Amino acid sequence: MKRGKRVWQRMLTIVCLGVFIYSGSAIGLELLGYYQNRQVLAKAQTMYGHEKGMNENREPGTIRTSFDELRKVNDDIVGWINMKDTMIQYPIVQSSDNAFYLTRNYLKNDTRAGSIFMDYRNDVLHESPNTVVYGHRMRDGSMFAGLTNYLKKDFFDEHRTFQYDTLYQSYEAEIFAVYETTVDFDYIQTDFQDLGEYAHYLQAVRKKSIYQTKTDVSTDDLILTLSTCDHVLAPKNGRLVVQAKLKKVY
């Protein structure tokens, strides 16, 4: 009887040790992935030009020089986003679908963090009323995890605008809607049959917003939609959405 008990205890110890080693390895690999992702994105930040007023006289449809170095690395890069007091200072990529960059960085290397990427239906030269940009909500605060800050009223009030650049334009983006939803709500609609449908869409997203702002948004305006997962709301279909009106800077 005692021998059987000792055998059982040894087996239990071995199992617990195996679980501990596996868990430790998994955590270690996750932390390594976070570190590597930050290093890769830090490199991108050194390559972006952040020019101001340098391209006012350039020909329409020509790519801004601020993207020259980045596009030598990957010509899928179509924009840049910078949100103050968050980790969001990233290149925006675009593929022929919305799956490729879910698990690849801007160097096209595999990574759990994926990239910040634009909906394949959008075109930065011929802009749709609604440009949609996606990013994962990583546990280390990277990628679009910083969007969760906008659920806090104080942060929202102090960070109403952010920088959004494309290959051809620079914008000040003024946030007018923040809300949690599911994929059942078609907030990622990019084009509309007519101005009436677009007006109805704008009314719907403003109604869903947890903040009622005084920002005037009409069918004459272009908007930017930032989307990330919201696992608390719904494990698979929950989304956190931040939407902004675009104002051309240069």
Q: Is the pLDDT of residue 10 over 70?
A: no
Q: Which amino acid does the sequence have at 210? A: I
78, 138, 175, 229: the catalytic one is 229
Supply the pLDDT for residue 20.
Answer: 47
Beta bridge partners of 204: none
Supply the pLDDT for residue 13.
Answer: 59
Mean pLDDT in residue range 169-197: 97
DSSP string over 192-228: -SSHHHHHHHHHHHHHH-SS-------TTS-EEEEEE
Domain ranges of the chain: 48-248
Q: Give the residue from 131, 124, 133 showing the smallest Cα distance to 61.
A: 124
Q: Residue 113 carries which DSSP code?
A: T
Q: Is the pLDDT of residue 59 over 80?
A: no
Query: Any residues with CB less than 8 A from the CB of 175 and at least 6 apart, and which?
Result: 150, 156, 159, 160, 161, 162, 213, 215, 242, 243, 244
Specify whether the CB–CB gap between 159 and 84 falls below 8 A. Answer: yes
In the chain, % of residues over pLDDT 90: 71
Cβ neighbours of 18 (radius 10 Å): 10
Answering whether pTM is above 0.75, one says yes
Q: Residue 159 and residue 150: Cα distance in Å, rounded?
A: 8
Mean pLDDT in residue range 11-21: 54
Q: Which CATH code for domain 48-248?
A: 2.40.260.10
Q: Could you confirm whether 16 is annotated as catalytic?
A: no
| Predicted confidence (pLDDT) per residue in 111-147, tens digit | 999 999 999 999 999 999 999 999 999 989 899 999 9
